[in-house]
Chain A
Amino acid sequence: MTHADKAAEFNKNEAKVNWHDKALWYVREKRDKSAHGVIGWEHIRDVASGIKANVLSNLDNYLIEFEKNALNNGIKVHWASDAKEHNEIVSKILADNNAKKVVKSKSMLTEECHLNPHLEAQDIEVVDTDLGEFIVQIAKETPSHIVLPAIHKTKEEVDDLFQEHIGTKPSEGNPEYLTNEARKHLRNKFLNADAAITGVNFAIAETGGIVVCTNEGNADMGSHLAKVHIASMGIEKIIPKEEHLGIFLRLLARSATGQPITTYSSLFNKPAEGKEMHIVIVDNGRTEQLSREDFRASLHCIRCGACMNTCPIYRRSGGHSYDATIPGPIGSILSPGKDLTKHSSLPFASTLCGSCSNVCPVKINIHEQLYKWRQVIVKDVKQPIVKKSILKVAGGVLANRKLYNFSGRMARFMLKYAPRFIVYSKLNAWGKARDLPEVKGQNFDQWYKVKRKNNG
């Protein structure tokens, strides 16, 4: 199914879509308010972007430095070329420790590697302990957003799920009651876990330490209670020096939710007495993305989710419509790198308005990369697939009244105001392969003149 097909699915529930749209826009507004309150914000973004560019250009040396320092601190380091190797390494660590019960905190990488089903097949209990992830886990779904995994669920749906899975009373979706019940349920899991798996927000070459950021405290509850802590990280999580955390921690939470910092920013440098700490460094397609000059900068991503919250397509199509672990604008750059045919519709799920690039804390030129993928796809993917998928984006949207209502505004704006060569360029999803309806009203020149006149 293409993105448009899946988006149409999500758009069947109009009230929910409207809520989703507004809720995410509200998060975007909180981000703005928070970012604007920081003097020198743009300088921080520039330097962050520059540090990430330096990291990619020296990544092998930084990885070696990181490994050396981590080993010196008593942390065990493992390397995995792909998801399969990652999962096997994790299984082996668990088996060596006779661990049968695992608590996990949010880690998009373990989602990407499909770790949960792998472990469950070996009779290991895996519990996702971030509340949003816990919700999607019991719903047998995947996160629809990297920071707000259950943003697609209503509180009533959560209420039903909790009644079924953890025996809560009907509460009409009372968030406080439900959160508290989850707290009790998860506390029990933390206390009985043999091992904890976490993600990594930043890994510091200079010290061999890692940083994990959460608001709930679940990564710390898991890792400090269990005997074994396994942290999985993509190779691109490296930063050169510890002082660089000052930069990235200022950016991350503000961009994600508008908070000045996450509740907990935990710096792990050594395992506690009597405990084991493992770090699994994973490639899984990242070095391939590194080889693509045009798309390399997508590896700067610090997974804040801001590009999703601001994206007019994401907000009205939902994270699941992208059919990938990382949805939204950044996901639409990363996914085609993994499977161009499967994800060929994603770079077209964008208005190219550039809002994503504007909010990105590490200044990834997201919309330009989307445009570049379109060029690759038109050239490389067999034409019928391209035509079909592009037609479906434009055709599917135009044929669906509800979808049209939102994209229509965008499309009409484009049709009315964008110069003809953009609308009818073969790279534009809205113009390609279809005669667009005639637009009433002024043409661009007239509109521009009127505007100018009105503005004096």
Chain B
Amino acid sequence: MGREAILKSVKENKPTLIPLPMLDLNNFKEDINLLEEFKEKVKLVGGSLKELSSSETLENEIKKLYPNAKEIVDCSNQSTSLATVTISEGTNPKDLQNIDLAIIKGEFGVSENGSVWISENTFPIRVLPFITNDLVIILEKEKLCLHMHDAFSLISERERTFGVFISGPSKTADIEQCLVVGAQGAMSLSVFLF
């Protein structure tokens, strides 16, 4: 009953068609260094960032940053030997509750807000980047775009299942506006660029 009634009511009450405006991307042209801007924004949103000269040092750097991590899932395809837990599509999401560290490959970063796009293609269980205590995202330096308009054109051809822009660790300011990092999602986010 709801569907027909709602559609009928919308039809009767809507104004005459107003054309869809176009965005003019020329308004957002900026001569900035994408990498520097991205680094600054990742820090602004509470993330940490490390630039590596090559992927070879990755394993060591992660170990240095998270020396106490025991249960580690690595979906980054960077052939590190850090993983202590392997997961697949069949894994029960609830079994990930004790994961200390997840390593995920980011598809690209967005300079204007320090976010990184990750999608289901790169991690088999959707809850992983949220339920893990700490999150590491690996990103290639060239894979940066200026703003969200470019970001959406980069993902326009993807297979649409689930994906997320992540900008920093989970946080809240719900108690007297005091910023606390580590709400219901990951307690920290580190981006490794190489």
Q: Which residues of A contact B (CB under 8 A)?
A: 23, 26-27, 38-40, 43-44, 46-47, 50-51, 53-54, 56-60, 63-64, 73, 78-81, 85, 129-132, 135, 148-151, 153-155, 158, 173, 175-176, 178-180, 183, 186-187, 190-191, 207, 209, 215-218, 220-221, 224-225, 235, 240, 242-243, 245-247, 249-250, 257, 259-270, 272-273, 281, 283, 287-288, 290-291, 293, 296
| Interchain residue pairs with CB less than 8 A apart (25) | A39-B30, A50-B21, A51-B21, A131-B175, A178-B175, A207-B160, A209-B160, A215-B170, A216-B185, A217-B184, A217-B185, A221-B184, A225-B93, A243-B156, A250-B147, A260-B45, A260-B113, A261-B114, A263-B45, A263-B169, A263-B171, A266-B162, A272-B161, A281-B6, A290-B13
> Is B162's CB under 8 angstroms from A270's CB?
yes
Closest CB of chain B to A267's CB: distance in Å? 5
Would you give the shortest CB distance from B22 to chain A, in whole angstroms?
8
Indicate if B172 sits at the interface (CB-CB under 8 A). yes
| B184 & A53 in contact (Cβ 8 Å cutoff) | no
Give a binary string over B96-121; 1 marks a CB under 8 Å from any A CB, 0 the rest: 01000000000000101111000000
Q: Is the CB of A180 within 8 A of B10?
A: no
Q: Which residues of A contact B3 (CB under 8 A)?
A: 79
Q: Does B65 contact A (CB under 8 A)?
A: no
Question: Does B127 lie within 8 Å of A155, measured CB to CB?
Answer: no
Q: Interface on chain B toward A: helix, strand, loop, or mixed SS?
A: loop
Q: How many residues belonging to B are interface residues under a CB distance threshold of 8 Å?
A: 76
Cβ-defined contact, A242 with B30, below 8 A:
no
Contact B162 A296 (CB under 8 A): no
Residues of the B chain whose Cβ atoms lie less than 8 Å from the Cβ of A215: 170-172, 183
Contact A183 B15 (CB under 8 A): no
A265–B65 CA distance with the chains assembled, in angstroms: 26
Q: Are A272 and B162 in contact (CB under 8 A)?
A: yes
Given contacts A220-B164, A240-B20, contact A130 B27 (CB under 8 A): no
Chain B residues, Cβ within 8 Å of A26: 177
A131 cross-chain contacts in B, Cβ below 8 A:
172, 174-175, 183-184
A residues within 8 A CB of B178?
Answer: 155, 175-176
A281: which B residues are within 8 A, CB to CB? Answer: 6
Q: Which residues 166-194 of B sit at the A interface, judged by CB distance below 8 A?
A: 166-178, 180, 182-186
Given contacts A209-B160, A216-B183, contact A265 B115 (CB under 8 A): yes
Residues of B within 8 A of A (CB): 1-3, 5-7, 9-24, 27-30, 41, 44-45, 89, 93-94, 97, 110, 112-115, 125-127, 130-131, 147-153, 156, 160-178, 180, 182-186
**CB-contact partner of B182 in A47, A153, A179, A225, under 8 A:** A179
With the chains together, A164 CA to B170 CA distance in Å? 26
Whole-angstrom distance between the Cβ of B180 and the nearest chain A Cβ: 4
Give the complex CA separation of A178 and B174 in angstroms. 11
A40 vs B25: C-alpha distance when bound (angstroms): 9
Task: Say how far B99's CB is from chain A's closest CB, in angstroms.
Answer: 12
Residues of A within 8 A of B23 (CB): 43-44, 47, 246-247
Q: Which residues of A contact B114 (CB under 8 A)?
A: 260-261
Seed contacts A247-B148, A259-B167; 16 additional CB < 8 Å A-B pairs: A38-B112, A81-B1, A81-B2, A131-B184, A132-B172, A148-B173, A217-B184, A218-B185, A243-B153, A247-B149, A257-B173, A260-B167, A261-B115, A264-B185, A272-B126, A283-B5
- Contact present for A260 and B44 (CB under 8 Å): yes
Q: Is the Cβ of A290 less than 8 Å from the Cβ of B10?
A: yes
User: Which of chain A's residues have a CB closer than 8 A to the CB of B166?
Assistant: 263-264
Tell me how far the C-beta of B83 lies from the nearest C-beta in chain A, rounded to whole angstroms: 21
A221/B130 in contact, CB under 8 A: yes
**Residue numbers in A under 8 Å from B127 (CB-CB):** 220-221, 224-225
5 cross-chain pairs, A with B, having the tightest CB-CB distances, nearest first = A217-B185, A50-B21, A260-B113, A79-B2, A216-B183
